[in-house]
Structure 1
Amino acid sequence: MTRSGVQEGSRPGLPDGNRSDGGPAPHGGDGRAGGGRRPDGGRGRRALRWSATTLSVLILGTAGVGRLYYDHLNDNIEKGERSSGDSKAYRAEPNAAGQTPLNILLIGSDSRASDENVALGGGRDTRGNPPLGDVQMLIHLAADRESAAVVSIPRDTRVDIPECTDPRTGDTYPAVNDIINTSLARGGPGCTLATWQNLTGVYVDHWMTIDFAGVVSMADAIGGVEVCVNQNVWDRPLPGVPGGSGLKMRAGSEKVEGERALQWLRTRHAWGSDLLRARAQHMYMNSMIRTLRDQNVFTDTGRLMGLAEAATSSLTVSEEIGSVKELYDLGMQLRTVPPDRITMTTLPTVEDPQNRNHLVTAGADAERMWTMLRDDVAFDGKGDKSDGTGGSDKAGKGDEGGAKASADPAAPDGEIGVLVRNATRSATLGPVSGRAGAIARSLVAKGFTRAAPDTSRALAEERTVVRYPDAASRGDARRVAESLGIPADSVRQSADVSGVTVVVGADWREGTAYPDRSPSGAGGLPEGADALDAAETDPCMDVYEPYRW
């Protein structure tokens, strides 16, 4: 990968008493570990980066590419390694129709590696610093391709970042617990992808990034997008609160483009918090999706070429999708989802007890969202999903399919060697001591007399799994999982184990029977997800009172 950059500066605070939990207020402060402040102007491009990355995917799904232009567009695309970090996520099993979900990580890179990016984002004195991934979202395309979910994580959310190796330099970075936007500087987008996989348990197929210059190019290519406010808004400096995007508009709807679009997307103070800024960005994105679908680009050759040129020039992508054809095919899959089945959300978070300027995931609410993604459950509550799994046939498939599993019978319980590991630590919770021993004793009581705990330090995995080394031990692993109530889709072959290994994850912190994980009902998102679907045209932003006029 060749695009790189420097770190994002801090966010100016709001008046005392303002909060980041939905009330009028950001969590303020520096926004990263260490570092000083930087003018607010560069942050707007982060918002556009976020929008433009998704837009790039959409454009490539709505634009045909002429053969004479094909090689040129291919040359525009920059590529990088898919994963550069230590991650244990596995691909989802196919549903009954043989379909699997598709997950794409979109990253807005805070890059100032070129004169153009420096001019757009400032920070000339920190030009050589590594980039931050200040905007991150996961697009989940359902296995049946009938719905899509988008989950954003606030940039200052503290998570476990795994050990990563930068594919460009060969530098290795140790595992660390830090805010998620720093992952990009610790091995590139592949490290951010590995961080997401470890946090969510969701296998991420691809990543895409975009920088400042690409954002501006894409913003110009799309044209106007309609946005809406409930009160007159003017995002300007106030006494004790510097910065502001300059956005000034009257109550109601207005089409914004160019600098006006930039002002909308960078506005934070006038909404009251970073989380509410994410909501405004979701509204813009939804409106942009509708705008793109309404545009007749197929009969406008100049516009078609402009969109394709901007998209391919703006993106850096993981190498397995590093061609126009692959991007086009990817975009066509996304294009099949109607706007009313695209759900934009933000991960539920709470204030970090270690640093009030940061956030941590909101325990059970966050895990509910990750479970819905892992189980391919539609976020919107629509569609015919009688088993609640978004079309996945969990009951009979397991790790290699029901038919194949039956051909690998288990040994007698007393002859199966089982190692139990404690991996109950998570980004927000410490490990539960004694878990490996408790589960091992339970297995012995059930007749698995060769079960024993791993006495090494507690690991961190969000979801409990049973791993086995080869096909000969598959039946044994499934038998152990069955005895504990662990679902068949959590039984996985792995080269990291030498025998059947039960890894007790953060989702099983008490008891000796695995908690019932009946598939979440479609549409059962936690309230903190702040869900919007792309067909909604009514939502408008409320303006924080000091910024009304």
Structure 2
Amino acid sequence: MGRSSVRGEGARQRAPHASDHGLEEGPPHEGGEPSADSGHHRRRHGGGGGRAPRPRRRILRWSATILSVLILGTAGAGYLYYQHLNNNLETDDLNLGDHRAPEPTPNAAGQTPLNILLIGSDARDSKENQKLGGAKETFGGTPLADVQMLLHLSADRTNMSVISMPRDTLLSIPKCTDPDDGKVYEASTQRTMTNQSLGRGGPGCTVATWEKLTDIRINHFMEVDFSGVVSMADAIGGVPVCVDANIHSRDSEGHGSGLKLEKGTTYVKGEQALQWLRTRYGFDGGTDISRAKAQHMYMNALVRELRENANLGSPNKLRKLAETATSALKVDDGLGSVKALFDLSNELKKVSPERTTMTTMPFEYVGARVIPKPGDAEQLFRLVRDDISLDGKGKKKPAKEKVSDDPAADDGEIAVQVQNGTRTDVEPPVGGRASTVTQILAGKGFTKAAADTTTVLAQEKTVIKFPSADLEGDAQRIAKSLGMKLSSVKKSTDVSGVTLVVGADWREGNAPPKSKQDDKTPDSAEALNGSDKKACMHVDPNFTWK
């Protein structure tokens, strides 16, 4: 099914753009890499042209999402206005890949968590966005998903977590098909910056990329346009932010957002809020990671203001915010109405700031880019998959392992292929590992085990995959014989039969190592609690003033 918009659509040609060429704060050639993708992309009917700034949109787009959800949820008196607001909403396909992460297991009360991917496109697709973002040479260029935040609402609605992914994370983007023209974007053959996923058919490819990386089932996405964000920041009367020294984000070469604040707490709104959210030069470290921290602080303060600010009681202000928010949103079909957003808002409002946790995906540098940090990133993703709160409260009881109803065949009749997945980002694969483990299985009676000596993968944890329900029992039987937990058995359309992928955790020895499961949020995720009003950005001494 193709993407749609109740406002109407029109195709436009992509032009080359600069991925990091001064689209955030500085002069046109501030560093970075342009995208090599081309093709066409749909836009709203009547749109101007151009693309909006990347980091500026990064949190402001997210803010627009939160605003739209919370505001529409409190504007119950304006239900008759819904149809007009519905006409503002634009929809697109949820997942453009050929693989979906498994559905989560319901808790004892039959509830399931809700996962929403928040995407900030830097497309300069209107005159307003072009004016705010500059970089005229990128007019109509391929959009980048420079804001990517996974919002996880727990099954029992007691806590919420947000994981930000740095825009320059290098990973594998899966095969995606554009629903409009059927163009197929083959899976990347080498590690590619995650923000390029949006240009491969739309936000559904960004969703597919997240599901492939995390194995977390994503229920919805919200892509937020930059237009109207500044006025929305004005409408709520400002958001408190803090710096530990005077700051002026501008150097002699013109780098910087222009943000100028005195030490302490300041309520920022309009253009000043925009500057805060796009500031990289001036915060300690001067990196995209520092900017993400500032954005998390802003987001937490924004939500607190929305809950506490009595000035939002004006129907006119609520109506204005709802108008601009719905005009800025692009969502999947499941959220394609104000009623759906209203229902979602009621769910989100159940979580207090004290039970909200903001994190950044643990990473490590590879040159100027980053990759998911081995161990820590998967730990964070697993906590979300298992619906374990990141604030350390309300520990989830271990779920009882579910034994398949499918009876296993005799060991000697179970065909299993063994693949070598011991390669990591820092270590080469262990030579002959698939053959070695095949011999171990044969010694246990699985005489139809066969080694795939042509495939080498990077698999952090050893896993057993099966393609269909009639092979689940066989896969679980192999897991049991190796002393593995049944949770390591996964249904996957990537395999045609039972397949054991020997992970980096089993580089040697006759059995996968048994390790005690740790449900602690990794320190490298730099968690920030939503109720923390003392958080303050450290200022780079080179960007301070007296």
TM-score tier by shorter-chain length is: 0.7 to 0.9
Question: Does residue 170 in structure 1 map to residue 182 in structure 2?
Answer: yes
Q: Is the 8 A contact 2:71 2:321 kept in 1?
A: yes
Instruction: Give yes or no for contact 1:227–1:256 (8 Å, CA) kept in 2.
Output: yes
Q: Deviations over 1:480-539 (max 9, x none)?
A: 222223332343444554432323455555544334354322xx2222212111100011
- 1:142 maps to 154
Match of 2:245 in 1: 231
Shift of 1:273: 2.2
Q: Please state if 1:10 is matched with 2:20.
A: yes
SS in 1 for 2:152: strand
- Inter-CA distance 167–328: structure 2 relative to 1 (3 Å threshold): same
Aligned to 2:207: 193
Decide which of 230, 233, 244 is 1:219's aligned counterpart.
Answer: 233
Aligned twin of 1:114: 126
Q: 1:357 to 1:202 in 2, by over 3 A?
A: same
- What TM-score, normalized by structure 1, do the two folds share? 0.85
8 Å Cα contact 2:220-2:332 kept in structure 1: yes
Q: What residue in structure 2 maps to residue 383 of structure 1?
A: 394
| Higher alpha-carbon deviation: 274-283 or 441-450 | 441-450
CA distance in 2, matches of 1:516, 1:29: 48
Which of 420, 423, 439 matches 1:422?
420
The letter of the residue matching 1:143 is A
2:63 to 29, 47, 51: 51
Contact 1:45 1:121 in 2 (8 A): no
2:531 is matched with 535
Deviations for 1:195-231, whole angstroms, at most 9, x for unmatched residues?
A: 1112122222211111221433543443310111111
SS in 1 for 2:354: helix
Post-superposition shift, 1:145? 1.6
d(CA) in 2 for partners of 1:548, 1:70: 47
Counterpart contact for 2:151–2:160, Cα < 8 Å? yes
Bigger CA drift: 302-311 or 109-118? 302-311
- Give the 3 Å change call, closer, same or farther, for CA 68–463 of structure 1 in structure 2: farther
For the residues of structure 1 that align with 2:492 and 2:54, how far apart are their CA atoms? 44
Unaligned runs of 5+ residues in structure 1 are 14-27, 388-392
Q: Is the 8 A contact 1:234 1:248 kept in 2?
A: yes
Indicate the residue corresponding to 1:390 in structure 2.
none
Match of 1:31 in 2: 32
Is 1:276 matched with 2:290? Answer: yes
Would you say 1:256 and 2:250 are equivalent positions?
no
- Checking the alignment, whether the CA contact within 8 Å between 1:8 and 1:110 is kept in structure 2 is no
Residue in structure 2 matching 1:245, options 228, 241, 257? 257
Tell me the distance in 2 between the aligned counterparts of 1:499 and 1:152: 35
Q: Partner of 1:23 in structure 2?
A: none
Q: CA deviation at 1:456?
A: 3.8
Offset of residue 463 of structure 1 = 5.1
Partners of 1:184 and 1:39 lie apart in 2 by 14
For residue 131 of structure 1, give the secondary structure of its aligned residue in structure 2.
coil
Distance 1:481 1:221, change over 3 A: farther
Residues 1:85 and 2:97 are matched in the alignment:
yes
**CA apart distance, 1:108:** 0.6
State the Cα distance separating 1:346 from its structure 2 match. Answer: 1.0
Mapped contact 1:58–1:331 kept (Cα < 8 A): yes
With a CA cutoff of 8 Å and minimum separation of 6, indicate the structure with the bigger relative contact order. 1
Check 1:291–1:8 CA distance in 2 against 1; reply closer, same or farther (3 A cut).
farther
> Aligned partners of 1:443 and 1:262: how far apart in 2?
59
Structure-1 separation of matches of 2:97 and 2:523: 32
Seq. identity, % = 50
Partner Cα separation in structure 2 for residue 62 and residue 505 of structure 1: 49
Contact between 1:103 and 1:139, CA under 8 Å: does it hold in 2?
Answer: yes
Aligned counterparts, 1:452-471, within 5 A: 452-459=450-457, 464-471=462-469
Q: Deviations over 1:269-303 (max 9, x none)?
A: 11032211111111000000101111358853223
More displaced stretch, 228-237 vs 468-477: 468-477
Q: Which residue of 2 aligns with 1:360?
A: 371
CA distances 1:71-99 after superposition (whole Å, capped 9, x unpaired)? 11211111111111243521222223322
Q: Kindly indicate whether the alpha-carbon contact (under 8 Å) linking 1:508 and 1:514 is maintained by their aligned counterparts in 2.
A: yes
Partner secondary structure for residue 245 of structure 1? coil
Partner residue, 2:441: 443
Closer/same/farther in 2, CA of residues 413 and 65 from structure 1, 3 Å limit: farther
Letter in 2 for 1:139: L
- Structure 2: tracts of 5 or more residues without a match: 4-8, 24-28, 37-49
Query: Take 1:436 and 1:214, find their aligned partners in 2: how far apart are those partners?
Result: 56
Distance change (3 Å), C-alpha of 1:250 and 1:321: same
Deviation, 1:55, is 3.2
Q: Take 1:430 and 1:309, find their aligned partners in 2: how far apart are those partners?
A: 54
Structure 1 residues 496 and 348: alpha-carbon distance in aligned structure 2, compared to 1, 3 A threshold: closer
**Separation in structure 2 between the aligned mates of residue 351 and residue 10 of structure 1, nearest angstrom:** 17
Match of 2:45 in 1: none
Aligned AA (1:531) = A
Q: Which stretch has the larger CA shift, 363-372 or 258-267?
A: 363-372
Cα 1:252/1:519, change in 2 over 3 Å: same
Letter in 1 for 2:531: A
**Counterparts of 1:250 and 1:105, CA distance in 2:** 35
Q: Per the alignment, in what secondary structure is the counterpart of residue 193 of structure 1?
A: helix
| Root-mean-square deviation over aligned CA pairs | 2.9
Cα offset for 1:120? 2.2
Aligned: 1:205 with 2:219: yes
Distance (Å, rounded) in 1 between the aligned partners of 2:236 and 2:515: 43
Secondary structure of 2:110's match?
coil
Within 5 Å, give how 1:311-390 maps onto structure 2: 311-352=325-366, 356-387=367-398
* Number of aligned residue pairs: 513
How far apart are the structure 1 equivalents of 2:307 and 2:201?
Answer: 36
- Match in the other structure for 1:288: 302
How far apart are residue 126 of structure 1 and its match?
2.3
- Please, what TM-score do these two structures have when normalized by structure 2? 0.86
Q: CA distance change for structure 1 residues 198 and 515 in 2, over 3 Å: closer, same or farther?
A: farther
- CA shift, 1:384, in A, is 4.0
- What are the equivalent positions in structure 2 for 1:90-101 lying under 5 Å apart? 90-101=102-113
2:441 is the counterpart of 1:434: no
Q: How far does the alpha carbon of each residue in 1:207-264 deviate from its partner, in whole angstroms, 9 at most, with x for none? A: 11112214335434433101111111111223xx422222112111111111111111
Does residue 125 of structure 1 match 2:154?
no
Partner of 2:47: none
Distance 1:464 1:58, change over 3 A: farther
CA separation of 1:502 and 1:249: change in aligned 2, threshold 3 A: same
1:22 aligned partner? none
